[in-house]
Structure 1
Amino acid sequence: MDDYNTVLIPDETELEIKKSRFINLVFHIEAEEEAEAILAEIRKKHYKATHVCWAYVLNTNPRRQKASDDGEPSGTAGKPILEVIDHRELKDVLVVVIRYFGGIKLGTGGLIRAYGGGASDVLNHCRVVKKQFSDQLQVVLSYTSYGGVSSGLLERDVIPVNEDFGEKVTLSFEIPVADTNRFLAWVEDKTNGTARIIRGEQAFVDVALS
């Protein structure tokens, strides 16, 4: 499975363009039903809004995506929002741009810029994380081996997610699947083959992006 970027925490921004108010929202979703439920709540809350336009992309195989212009001219709202999500290579994300019409028409180009700009604005503001498909590993080693392994991990910029000091030292790691074999070969070399490896399930882990 491939790594991908997403947004975990909902966020909101607002823009005013030629007296129209644009409220821009982003949510993490993992199913179409989640998107539908969020959109139902938004429509209920913003029942006076002129348009509630949106797009989402799901991390499915094949990828599932959907967009809506919600009454704006075809291709001027949902598509620009979707293109912003695609450009940033985000998945499991729903972006909604709510418009309260201010009395001045924007024209086709203006609408595309407004809805794409609203999506960009909220995604610029929110925190993006990488979902990294990883092997969950435990390395059980002697106290004699621990010093060399610990200093080597610092040099490799690898940080254990947990350290347990019992009869032996147990270090827990979340290692990208593509790096697992190289990492285990390094551990074997550093411990002269004395370390015991316990493999857990493979899973996506959240990695903060700078």
Structure 2
Amino acid sequence: MENYKIIHRGGQGEIVEKKSRFIATVCPVMSEEEAISFIEKTKKKYWDARHNCHAFVIGERNEISRCSDDGEPSGTAGKPMLDVLLGAGVHNVCVVVTRYFGGTLLGTGGLVRAYSKAVQEGLANSVVIEKILSSRMEIYTDYNGIGKIQYIIGKSPAITVKTEYTDKVSVEILIKKELSESIYKEIVEATNGKAEIVRGDDCWCGEADGEVIIF
């Protein structure tokens, strides 16, 4: 895969259904061991709750996926929670939904809706970023060529890492790998081959809160 969504920063969401509180806590995880550790930590935090149901997906292609109803009727909590994660297309994530029982039974349909909605709230309050397999390029040009290069970069999905102005101008960019050859050719053509382009190693990158993140 050349791009997929991950949780950059976990969050929490809460809903109330017929006086029952459903608290969804979302956390990024890289392994099943990390997921289990997070689940146990959350259970200790909410030790007095009736249920702490969980779901997690790990791997670029969701190679590992697990869920638990934690005492709720079979299929009413863990599976709906997992379905929300898969439907959102996020990877390497674990969510625990804590339920404080409000005294009124919700029925199977009500439970499915409540647990699903809680996970959606948790994801909405998390920072989700797209992790993109990118090619790194350093472009060197004179001051006459920088305008054309910046125009090409600006209309592309490239991320500008840094720009330095000395006797020449250097621009470091990250561009989705599948688009790297086309932008390379476009810059060469626009500058009549005068721009020097140095290709770096491929890497994974993303953007969050206006900052470039290189994995």
**Same-fold status (TM-score > 0.5):** yes
Flag the 1:152–1:135 CA change in 2: closer, same or farther, 3 A.
closer
Aligned to 1:74: 74
Helix, strand or coil at the partner of 1:66: strand
- CA drift of 1:155 comes to 4.5
Aligned to 2:213: none
Structure 2 spans left out of the alignment, 5+ residues: 210-215
Letter in structure 2 aligned against 1:6: I
Aligned to 1:172: 172
Residue 212 (structure 2) pairs with residue 199 (structure 1): no
Aligned to 1:54: 54
CA distance in 1, matches of 2:60, 2:5: 13
- CA drift of 1:157 comes to 6.6
- CA drift of 1:144 comes to 3.0
The number of residues matched between the two structures is: 209
Structure 1 spans left out of the alignment, 5+ residues: none
Q: Contact conserved, 1:130 with 1:208, CA < 8 A, in 2? A: no
CA deviation vs aligned residue, 1:134-153 (integer Å, no higher than 9, x gap): 11111122233223323443
Q: More strand by proportion, 1 or 2? A: 2
Residue 108 (structure 2) pairs with residue 111 (structure 1): no
Aligned to 2:3: 3
CA distance in 2, matches of 1:10, 1:17: 23
- CA drift of 1:208 comes to 5.2
Aligned to 1:162: 162
CA distance in 2, matches of 1:62, 1:49: 29
TM-score by length of 1: 0.90
Flag the 1:4–1:104 CA change in 2: closer, same or farther, 3 A.
same
Helix, strand or coil at the partner of 2:183: helix
Aligned to 1:37: 37
Residue 90 (structure 2) pairs with residue 90 (structure 1): yes
Quote the RMSD (CA, aligned, Å).
2.0
Residue 20 (structure 2) pairs with residue 12 (structure 1): no
- CA drift of 1:186 comes to 0.5
Aligned to 1:99: 99
Per mean C-alpha deviation after superposition, the further-off stretch among 177-186 and 161-170 is 161-170
Flag the 1:111–1:8 CA change in 2: closer, same or farther, 3 A.
same
Q: Contact conserved, 1:10 with 1:28, CA < 8 A, in 2? A: yes
Instruction: List 4+ stretches of structure 1 deviating above 3 A.
Output: 151-159
CA distance in 1, matches of 2:98, 2:181: 48
Letter in structure 2 aligned against 1:80: P
Flag the 1:37–1:62 CA change in 2: closer, same or farther, 3 A.
closer
- CA drift of 1:84 comes to 0.7
CA distance in 2, matches of 1:115, 1:146: 53
CA deviation vs aligned residue, 1:88-142 (integer Å, no higher than 9, x gap): 1111121211011222222221211111111122223333221111111111222
- CA drift of 1:166 comes to 2.8
Helix, strand or coil at the partner of 2:160: coil
CA distance in 2, matches of 1:40, 1:145: 57
Helix, strand or coil at the partner of 2:145: helix
Question: Once the two structures are aligned, what percentage of the paired residues are identical?
Answer: 35
Aligned to 1:188: 188
- CA drift of 1:3 comes to 0.7
CA deviation vs aligned residue, 1:4-35 (integer Å, no higher than 9, x gap): 11221121121221221111111112221221
Per mean C-alpha deviation after superposition, the further-off stretch among 108-117 and 154-163 is 154-163
